[in-house]
Structure 1
Amino acid sequence: MSEQFWLVVQYPLKSAKGNGRDCWLRDKVMEYLEKSLADANLGYVDGFDMGKCMADPKQYALNLFCVVTDEERSIALIKRVLRESRLDYTRVKMATRPYGTEGNYTLKYAYKKGVSSFLL
């Protein structure tokens, strides 16, 4: 079996529950990523959480969790899907860590230069 990774796609939110647009975004991104990752045989969407960030309770985020087999190809695919589908590509961060391990995620992509940290 090939090595697997957790890949988190994170969007910032303005409140713990988000608004109607945030819920729509969650559903659409999950739908598009499930199909795209499965079609490319790269992995699957494992779920999401939405609300306060554990590291900073004054910040809110939508986190979509994926299990993937190839970090680089999966990140490139997700970036392309979000951009082509107009799913708020300009607000997203992505981070990974080896599957089955505990610890911090490593930031792999951020919507703007200068962002160097990733926290759940």
Structure 2
Amino acid sequence: MSEQFWLVVQYPMKSAKGSQRDSWLRDKVMEVLEITLADAGLGHVDGFDMGKSLSDPKKYVLNVFCVVTEEERSLALVKRVLRESRLDYTRIKIATMPYGTEEAYTLKYAAKKGVTDFSL
């Protein structure tokens, strides 16, 4: 069995519950990623959470969690499909962490230049 990773796509939100648009975005991102990762044989979507950021309770986020193999290929595929599907690609952060560990997530991509930190 190949090594697995958590891959999380994070979007900023304006409130804890999110807007109707945030709910639509969550559903669409989960649908597109589930199909894309499964078709490529790279993994699956494992769920989401919406609400306060753990690191900054004044910020709100939507996190979509995936379990993937081949970290770099999966990362490239997720970035490409979110961009091509026009799913707010310019607002995302993507981070990974080895599956089955309690390590911190490592930021792999941020749409905004200069962003270097990531937390749930």
TM-score normalised over the length of structure 2? 0.98
Map of 2:11 onto structure 1:
11
Q: Given the alignment of the two structures, is residue 70 of structure 1 paired with residue 70 of structure 2, yes or no?
A: yes
The residue correspondences of 1:1-120 to structure 2 (distance < 5 A) are 1-120=1-120
**Identity rate, percent:** 77
- Secondary structure of the 1:100 match is coil
Distance 1:64 1:88 in 2: 13
- Secondary structure of the 1:101 match is coil
User: How far 1:52 moved relative to its partner?
Assistant: 0.3
User: How far 1:71 moved relative to its partner?
Assistant: 1.0
Which sections of structure 2, spanning at least 5 residues, go unmatched? none
Distance 1:45 1:67 in 2: 6
Distance 2:31 2:97 in 1: 23
Per-residue Cα deviation, 1:92-116 (whole angstroms, up to 9, x for no partner): 0000010000021000000021000
The alignment of Structure 1 onto Structure 2 pairs a total of residues equal to 120
Kindly provide the amino acid, as one letter, of the partner of residue 44 in structure 2: Y
- Secondary structure of the 2:26 match is helix
CA-atom RMSD, angstroms? 0.5
User: How far 1:70 moved relative to its partner?
Assistant: 1.0
